[in-house]
Structures are given as structure tokens and as C-alpha cells.
């Protein structure tokens, strides 16, 4: 009665596992890219919602997005809250409308936007997702 495996059997098993893993690797990477893009989009959408609520209670608020590396944060007066490191934490970059590298979304005491509409496009690998913030401050996911 024989116990264990031969070297040839172990090598053949490892070869099969490696081939199977290499077949699923691109699909897994694509899934991770899509998940990171959606996470970044939802983080910014949540930040906008928080800023609108803060604007109602404090008389105004702002949401900033800036590159180098891409990050987003909300601000009431001099107080900053809700920081999101899009490029550092999620490895996601952002394309803004009109090829800008930074933007500021302002909300008044009624929670309404005070700027023109803004389209934010989140990118990582082949994955992309958009967030449109209307002039009134409403958010639409695309």
C-alpha cells in the first residue's frame, strides 16, 4: 500500500491549478476594477448627500474634488469632513467636465447647488462609471 503522491503527480496537479487560475485572472481583475469604480462613485455621491444635509443645518457647504492624487472632501466653513482618497485608497482616477483638474460644488442654506451641472467620470483599468451632479445639486448615476 502506497502513501502520498509522486513528484510527477504533484507537478501535474500544480500545473492544472496554475492553468485554471490564469484563465480566471483577467475576469477577476476586471471585477475588481468595476468594484473600485462603483465604490468611488458611491463614496462621492455619499459625500454630496452629506454636504447637502450639512448645508441645511449650517447655512451652506462645499464639496471639493482635486487631482494630484485624486481626492474628494466636504467642507462647512473652515471645518472639513468626509475625506475620500480616490486615487490613494481605490486607485481610481476622475475625469471632470471641460478637462479640469479640480472642481468645487457649492450648496446654499436650502441644500440647492450654486454652480452649473458637473459630470464626474470615474476610471480604473477598463471600468468606468459616471456621476452627474445637476445645477440644483441632485445626483444621477450613469
- Domain residue spans in the chain? 7-141
CATH code given to domain 7-141: 3.55.40.10
- Tell me how many degrees the CA angle 118-95-113 measures, rounded to the nearest 5: 15
Cell of 119: 459630470
Phi, psi of 70, deg, nearest 5: -65, 130
CA dihedral 85, 90, 93, 97 (to 10 degrees): -70
Given a contact cutoff of 8 angstroms between Cβ atoms, the answer to whether 115 and 19 are in contact is: no
Strand, helix or coil for residue 119? strand
Write out the chain's pLDDT in tens, 142 residues: 678 888 988 999 999 988 887 777 777 788 899 999 999 999 999 999 999 999 999 999 999 999 889 999 999 988 998 899 998 999 999 998 888 889 898 998 888 888 778 889 999 999 999 999 888 888 888 8
- Tell me how many degrees the CA angle 111-118-89 measures, rounded to the nearest 5: 90
pTM of the model: 0.80
Amino acid at each position: 500500500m502506497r502513501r502520498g503522491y509522486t513528484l510527477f503527480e504533484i507537478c501535474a496537479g500544480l500545473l492544472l491549478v496554475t492553468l485554471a487560475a490564469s484563465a480566471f485572472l483577467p475576469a477577476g481583475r476586471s471585477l475588481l476594477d468595476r468594484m473600485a469604480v462603483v465604490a468611488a462613485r458611491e463614496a462621492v455621491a455619499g459625500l454630496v448627500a452629506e454636504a447637502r444635509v450639512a448645508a441645511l443645518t449650517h447655512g451652506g457647504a462645499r464639496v471639493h474634488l482635486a487631482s494630484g492624487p485624486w481626492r474628494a472632501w466636504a467642507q462647512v466653513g473652515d471645518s472639513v469632513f468626509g475625506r475620500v482618497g480616490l486615487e490613494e485608497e481605490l486607485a481610481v482616477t476622475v475625469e471632470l467636465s471641460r478637462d479640469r483638474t479640480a472642481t468645487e460644488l457649492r450648496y446654499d442654506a436650502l441644500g440647492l447647488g450654486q454652480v452649473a451641472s458637473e459630470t464626474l467620470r470615474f476610471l480604473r483599468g477598463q471600468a468606468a462609471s459616471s456621476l452627474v451632479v445637476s445645477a440644483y445639486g441632485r445626483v444621477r448615476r450613469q
